[in-house]
Chains A and B, each alone.
Chain A
Amino acid sequence: AQSVTQLGSHVSVSEGALVLLRCNYSSSVPPYLFWYVQYPNQGLQLLLKYTSAATLVKGINGFEAEFKKSETSFHLTKPSAHMSDAAEYFCAVSEGGATNKLIFGTGTLLAVQP
């Protein structure tokens, strides 16, 4: 069965600094991987997804993530944090196919300091 581990429930960065949110997955088959963002009092919004094409995936708002099979990782990065990036970020994995089920990590709350 697939699972997701997000290291760091809270991450704080300064405005303009690099954002790095970690995600490791476990899957018995080549996975599909996702990052979602949840702004305060809002629903979840897809940031980006990996579906076995390019291993470096670019998403919205300047975020990107790199699929590394050897490390079973899919870390989310952004070169320069903005105040508006403050939100909770969720990594998710699915095994696709007819029995697709989307499993989420516990989330990382990103704070951006001025």
Chain B
Amino acid sequence: GAGVSQSPSNKVTEKGKDVELRCDPISGHTALYWYRQSLGQGLEFLIYFQGNSAPDKSGLPSDRFSAERTGGSVSTLTIQRTQQEDSAVYLCASNLDSFEAFFGQGTRLTVV
């Protein structure tokens, strides 16, 4: 597709369940980011993939969070044993160089 695609757009899950969020970056973009946007918290950096380099996981809030990027393209963010404080909009972005990052529409996660 022409832009960054995220799925699902909305996800409601029960506390304690695992969830997987998917991001399809723009074709050819070597960098991929995950951010979390909570009310009043701005954009919180989670993880960053750049080409074949080891990902920068410094923003992951706990070991319940993990992400992978297969074949340098699609990425999956996994949250295990979800908690209510995980409720947020999860944003994915990709870019080719140090310039403009293109964002997806996000996945709104609600943990009930």
Interface size class of A (residues with CB under 8 A): 20 to 34
A40 beta carbon closer than 8 Å to chain B: no
The answer to whether B50 touches A98, judged by C-beta atoms less than 8 angstroms apart, is yes
The answer to whether A106 touches B98, judged by C-beta atoms less than 8 angstroms apart, is no
Chain A interface: which of B18-26, B37-45, B60-68, B75-83? B37-45
The answer to whether B43 touches A90, judged by C-beta atoms less than 8 angstroms apart, is yes
Residue of B40, B53, B91 near A43 (CB, 8 A) is B91
Chain B interface residue count, CB cutoff 8 Å, equals 24
The answer to whether A101 touches B99, judged by C-beta atoms less than 8 angstroms apart, is no
Per-residue 0/1 for A72-114: is the Cβ within 8 Å of any B Cβ (1 yes, 0 no)? 0000000000000000001000101111111111110000000
Q: B residues near A, CB below 8 A? A: 31, 33, 35, 40-43, 45, 48, 50, 53, 56, 91, 93, 95, 97-101, 103-106
